[in-house]
Amino acid sequence: MMNFLVALGQSVTNPVFYKQMLSATTPLLFASLGGLFSEKTGVTNIALEGIMLIGAFMGVVGTYLTGNPWIGIILAVAAGVSFAWLHAWASIRFCANQIVSATALILLAQGLTGFLLEPIFGQPGSTDIFPKLEWGAFNPFDIFPKGSFLHEVFGFLSPFVLVAFLLVIASWFWIYKTQVGLRMRAVGENPEAADTLGVNVFRIRYFGVIMSGVFASLGGAYLSVGELGLFSENMTGGKGFIALAAMILGNWHPVKTMGACMLFGAAQALNEQLQSNPNLAIASTTKPLFNLLPFVITLVVVGGLVGRSRAPASVGVPFEKEG
Amino acid sequence: MNRRALSFIIPVMAVIIALVVASVIIILIGEGSFFERLGFLGRAYYELIRGAFGSSGAWINTFIRMTPLILTGLAVGFGFRAGVFNIGAEGQMAMGALAATVFAVNASFLPVFLAIPLSMLVGMLTGAVWAGIAGFLKAKTGAHEVITTIMLNWIAYNITNWAVTAPFSSGVGVPKSPEIATSTKLPALATAQANVLSVGLFVAISAALVIYVLLEKTSRGYEVKAVGFNPYSAEYGGISVSKNIILTMAISGALAGLAGTLESIGLYHRFYGTLSAGKGFDGISIALIGQNHPFGIIFASLLISGLRTGSNQMQFVGVPKHIVTIIQAVIIFLVAADRIVRTILRIRTSKGGSPV
C-alpha cells in the first residue's frame, strides 16, 4: 500500500504524467466534439470509432505517398467526410437504423484498412514509421524556459493537441453564439417545430454529421501522423466509444465534454505511469489488468450517469417531412 | 409486395450488392490490363468457393466455423427481436469459454454425461451474467447497450488475456490454458487434418430450434417481441419492459457463452486468447441476413462461415481475408438502410421501418 502511494505521488509530480494526459485527451476530444456536432442535430454517430480508424490510416497513406504529413491530414479528413456522408445519407435520406448502419461503417473501416495495408505498404499488421506532423522552427510553448516543468509538459506535444483544445472554444462559440448553431440545437430538440419555422432540417443534419466526420478523422490522424508516425491494425482500440461516453458525461456541452475527456486522459496517463513505476515492479503478465481500467471507468460513467444527463430530444429519430 | 417476400429479397439483394462491391475492390488492387484484372477476380472467387465447399475437408472446416456462428447469430438476432442491440457477443463468448474451460480442466472426476452438460451450463451462465450487466444498466439507468457491451468486450479481452498469460496459462508460445479433462471433450463427427468437427454443430442447431419455439410458441417469446415492437404499448399492456430487457440480454449472452464453450470443449480442447476472433461480430451480419429468424440465421451462418473459410484459401492468390469484413459491412449497411435497396428495386411499400 505504501509503495502504491509513493508511486502515485511520483506519478502526479512527474511532468510526463501531464504530457501523457494531454496526449491521451486529444484523440478523445476531437472525436467527442465530432459526436457532439452530430448529436446536437439529432443524429447519433457511434461510427466515430470507424471514422477515426479510416482517418488514422489515410493520414499515413498520404504521408507515405508524398512525404508530407499535411497531405496525409487532408486525405484523412476527406476519408472521414466520406464515411460521415455515408452515415448521413443512410440515416437522413433513407431513415436507416442509425446504430446498425454506423456499426456497418465501423466494420467497413476495419475491413478496408486491414485489406489495403498489405497492397499499399507491403506488410500486414502495421506500417513502418513515417514523418510525423511537428512544430517547425516555431513552437509557441518555447516561451517556457527550457528544462522547466511547464516546458517538460507542453514543449514536446504535437500541434494537434493545441488545435484540439482551440476547437473546444470554437465549437462552443459555433453552437451557442451563431445562427447556424441555434438552428442545429433547434433541429436536435424539435425538428418538426424547426421545419415549421422554415429551417431545412435535412441540410442542418447533413452539416452536423459531416462535421463529426471532419473532427473524428482529425482525432484518428492525430493517433497516426501526430503521435506515433505509423498505422497499426485497429489502432483506435475503442477510443471512439470512450469519446461517446465523454460526450454523455459532458452532457452534450463542449466545455464539460472537454473536462470529461481530460478525466479519461488522466486515467490513461496514470495507468501508464503506474505500470512503468519501478516501486510497484508490475509484472508484464499483470498489465492487461491495468489496461482494462479505462473501459471499466467508461462503463461506470455511462451506467451511472446517463440517467442524469440529457441528450437532445430527437437523437436517433429520423425526420420525415409530412405530405 | 408483401412483407414475407421483402424479408427474403432485401438480404439477398444486400448480399449480391456486397459481392459486387467486393469485386470492384478486388479489380482495383489487381495488376495489369482490365482483362488480366478480371482474370484475377475470377481466380479469387474460384479459390474462395473451392476453399469453402470444394472438398470434404473444406466442408468440414466450413461446418466447424459455422457452429459458433449459428449461436452468435442467434444471440444478436434474439436481442434484435426484443429491440436491444447486443454488440457484445464477442466478450460474452470469450468469458463463457474461459469459465467453461476452467470448469472443464478441473472436471476429470465427473462422468461424461455430467461433465459435458455442466461445462455448457457454466459457459452459458457466465455469458448470461456478462451480458446481463449491460441489460441491467439499460433497464435501470438507460445506458445504451452498444456502449456498455463494447466496454464489456474490451474488459473481457483484457481479463481473458491476463488469465491465459498468468494464473491459467500452460506451456510456452501462444497464450493458452491447460487442456480440458477427457470427460468434457465433445464427441467428434469428422476430422479434416488437425481440425475436429464435433457434435457441437447439432447443439447449435438445437439451440436455434429452442429459440424458435421460445419466440413463436410461448407467452415469454410474445412478451419479448412485444417489447421489441413497441415498448410503450407493451408497458401499457402490462408487460414489464425492464424485466424483459434484462432477460433478453441474459438469454442472448447465454447463447454467445455457449458459442465460446463449444469452441473450447468441441474444437480446441483448451482456451486461447484469440478464441473469439471476430465471431461475435460476425453474428451481427448473420442476424441481419437471417432477418432475426432462427432458421434464417442457420442459412446465413453457413454463408458467412463459407466466406470466412474460403477467404483463407483466397489469401494465397493475394486477396487479403479482410475482404470478408468489407462484404459484411456492406450487407449490414444495406439491411439497416433497407430503403436503399427498395429504392434500387423501385419497391413501393407502405411506411415501414427497417427490420431491426
The predicted pLDDT at position A86 comes to 95
Alpha helices in B263-322 (DSSP H): 279-289, 294-314
pLDDT at position A301: 83
pLDDT for res B232: 85
**Residues B296-312: pLDDT tens digits?**
999 999 999 999 999 99
Give a yes or no: residue A317 inside a domain.
no
Per DSSP, the three-state class of B244 is: helix
| B354 in a structural domain | no
The pTM (predicted TM-score) of the whole model is: 0.90
**Is residue A10 scored above 60 in pLDDT?**
yes
A10, part of any domain? no
Among A277-281, B141-145, B325-329, the least confident range: A277-281
- Residue B216 within any structural domain of the chain: yes
Task: Write the pLDDT tens digit of every residue in B270-296.
Answer: 998 888 888 999 999 899 999 999 999
Taking only the tens place, the pLDDT of each residue in A151-189 is: 888 888 889 999 999 999 999 999 999 999 999 999 999
Out of A107, A238, A304, the one facing B329 most closely (by C-beta) is A107
Mean pLDDT of chain B: 89
Chain B interface test: which of A54, A100, A242 (most B C-beta within 10 Å): A100
Question: In this structure, how many other beta carbons lie within 10 angstroms of the beta carbon of residue A280?
Answer: 17
Name the residue among A112, A115, A241 with its Cβ closest to that of B150. A241
In this complex, do A299 and B25 lie within 8 Å of one another by their Cβ atoms? no
| pLDDT tops 80 at residue A190 | yes
Express each pLDDT in B77-98 by its tens digit.
Answer: 999 998 899 999 999 999 999 9
Which CATH number goes with the domain that contains A178?
A: 1.10.3470
* Separation of alpha carbons B85 and A223, rounded Å: 29
pLDDT, tens digit, for every residue of A13-38?
A: 889 999 999 999 999 999 999 999 99
Q: So what's the pLDDT on residue A309?
A: 66
In a domain, A319, yes or no: no
Interface probe with A: pick from B307, B325, B343, most Cβ of A within 10 Å: B325
Give per-residue pLDDT as tens, A36-74: 999 999 999 999 999 999 999 999 999 999 989 999 999
Assess if residue B353 is contained within a domain. no
Residue B325 CA to residue A116 CA, distance in Å, equals: 12
| Chain A residues whose beta carbon lies within 8 Å of the beta carbon of residue B337 | 90-91, 94-97, 101
Q: Residue B69 is part of a domain; what is its CATH number? A: 1.10.3470
A100/B335 touch (CB, cutoff 8 Å), yes or no? yes
- B324 chain-A contacts, CB cut-off 8 A: 111
Residue B350 reports pLDDT greater than 50: no
| A303:B152 CB<8 A | no
Q: Is residue A33 part of a domain?
A: yes
Question: pLDDT value at position A49?
Answer: 94
Rounded to a whole number of angstroms, the distance from the CA of A28 to the nearest CA of chain B is 15
Q: Which helix (H) or strand (E) holds B196?
A: strand B195-198
Mutation pick from B151, B285, B344 vs chain A, by most beta carbons of A within 10 Å, is B151
* Number of domains present in the structure of chain B: 1
User: How confident is the model over B147-172, as pLDDT tens digits?
Assistant: 899 899 999 999 998 998 888 888 77
What average pLDDT does range B184-196 have in this prediction?
86
Task: Provide the pLDDT confidence category of residue B352 given band limits of 50, 70 and 90.
Answer: very low
* A138-153: average pLDDT: 85
Mean pLDDT, chain A, rounded, equals 90
Q: Which of B84, B130, B141, B154 to mutate to test the interface with A (most CBs of A within 10 A)?
A: B154
* Of the partner residues A108, A237, A302, the one whose CB lies closest to the CB of residue B326: A108
Interface contact B158-A295, CB threshold 8 A: yes
End-to-end CA distance of chain B: 19
User: What pLDDT, on the 0 to 100 scale, is given for residue B102?
Assistant: 94
Q: Look at residue A314 and tell me whether its pLDDT is greater than 70.
A: yes
- Identify whether A36 is part of a domain: yes
At B103 the pLDDT is 95
B92, part of any domain: yes
| pLDDT score for A33 | 97
Asked if residue A1 belongs to a domain, the reply is no
Bigger pLDDT: B142 vs A262: A262
Contact A41, A179 (CB under 8 A): no
User: What's CA A99's distance to the chain center, in Å?
Assistant: 18
Q: Is residue A166 part of a domain?
A: yes
Residue A102 lies in a domain: yes
- Kindly state the average pLDDT of the residues A247-275: 90
- Segments forming the whole domain that contains residue A25: 17-131+140-308
Q: Could you give the angle at the alpha carbon of B147 between the alpha carbons of B228 and A101, nearest 5°?
A: 65
Tens of pLDDT, residue by residue over B309-321, are 999 999 888 899 8
How confident is residue A259, by pLDDT bands cut at 50, 70 and 90? very high
Q: Which residue of B has its CA nearest to A286?
A: B162
Give the model's pLDDT for residue B351. Answer: 46
pLDDT of the residue at B234: 87
| Residue the block writes with cell 454467445 | B256
CA distance A155 to A234: 29
Q: What is the 3-state secondary structure (H, E, C) of chain A?
A: CHHHHHHHHHHHCCHHHHHHHHHHHHHHHHHHHHHHHHHHCCCCCCCHHHHHHHHHHHHHHHHHHHCCHHHHHHHHHHHHHHHHHHHHHHHHHCCCCHHHHHHHHHHHHHHHHHHHHHHHHCCCCECCCCCCCCCCCCCHHHHCCCCCHHHHHHCCCCHHHHHHHHHHHHHHHHHHHCHHHHHHHHHHHCHHHHHHCCCCHHHHHHHHHHHHHHHHHHHHHHHHHHHHCCCECCCCCCHHHHHHHHHHHCCCCHHHHHHHHHHHHHHHHHHHHHHCCCCCCCCHHHHHHHHCHHHHHHHHHHHHHHHHCCCCCCCCCCCCCCC
Residues of A in contact with B133 (CB under 8 A): 299
Out of B133, B158, B332, name the one closest to residue A107 (CB).
B332
What average pLDDT score do residues A221-231 get? 93
Q: If you count residue pairs, one on A and one on B, with CB atoms under 8 Å apart, how many are there?
A: 157
Q: Identify the band that residue A307 occupies on the pLDDT scale cut at 50, 70 and 90.
A: low
pLDDT of residue B16: 93
CB within 8 Å: A118 and B159: no
**Tens digit of pLDDT for each residue in B250-264?**
999 999 999 999 999
Please check whether residue B352 lies inside any domain of the structure.
no
In total, how many domains does chain A have?
Answer: 1
Query: Are A108 and B333 an interchain contact pair (Cβ–Cβ within 8 Å)?
Result: yes
CB contact under 8 A, A97 and B29: no
For residue B175, tell me if it sits in a domain: yes
Q: Do B333 and A110 touch (CB under 8 A)?
A: no
To the nearest whole percent, how much of chain B has pLDDT over 90? 58
Whether A107 and B340 lie within 8 Å, measured CB to CB: no
Domain that holds residue B129: 3-345
- Alpha-carbon distance A117 to nearest alpha carbon in chain B (angstroms): 9
